[in-house]
Chain A
Amino acid sequence: DAGITQSPRYKITETGRQVTLMCHQTWSHSYMFWYRQDLGHGLRLIYYSAAADITDKGEVPDGYVVSRSKTENFPLTLESATRSQTSVYFCAARGTGGEGYEQYFGPGTRLTVT
């Protein structure tokens, strides 16, 4: 689990501002994911990436943008933050094939939009 980190760990921002959450992995796993966690909703997938320069929408992508220019990094950007995006955001990574089904999470970023 120490192989995947997120920054910042806590962030307070104002409505309308752009904010970027960073995710970095040291394993070189192909797949990376962004989830948001809200009370009563569990973990919901925002975006995922199968490899560098390959990204796709998850269950709740509206208001978010991702990029993946390098295998190890997968930043999530809120282009114009809204109060409804106040949440805990988790990044995750997993490999492919063999034992690669196992998915590991980063420590999370708690985002508050005021």
Chain B
Amino acid sequence: AQTVTQSQPEMSVQEAETVTLSCTYDTSESNYYLFWYKQPPSRQMILVIRQEAYKQQNATENRFSVNFQKAAKSFSLKISDSQLGDTAMYFCAFGTPFGNEKLTFGTGTRLTIIP
């Protein structure tokens, strides 16, 4: 079974600064996918970014990028030029590709952007 660990329950950062949220996971799978989801106070679950384990290149989506270290089983999220709208819970999630697709979530990091 897979496990996902987010060791930072809460973080805060000044607006416009850069912040990195950490995530580690444990799996015996060789082929898998990793995701970051954002849950603002509105309760929606919004996909932020997705990474295929077989790709060495780190995924980026505008101000969001990941640092994927497969050997270390680490998948951190970097948010550049943070904005007030980035205030949310951030969940790291592990997905298996075939036949038994489900997301295994970490416990989340509550990120607050300070004006």
> Is this pair of chains taken from one and the same complex?
no
Identify the A interface with B (CB < 8 A).
none
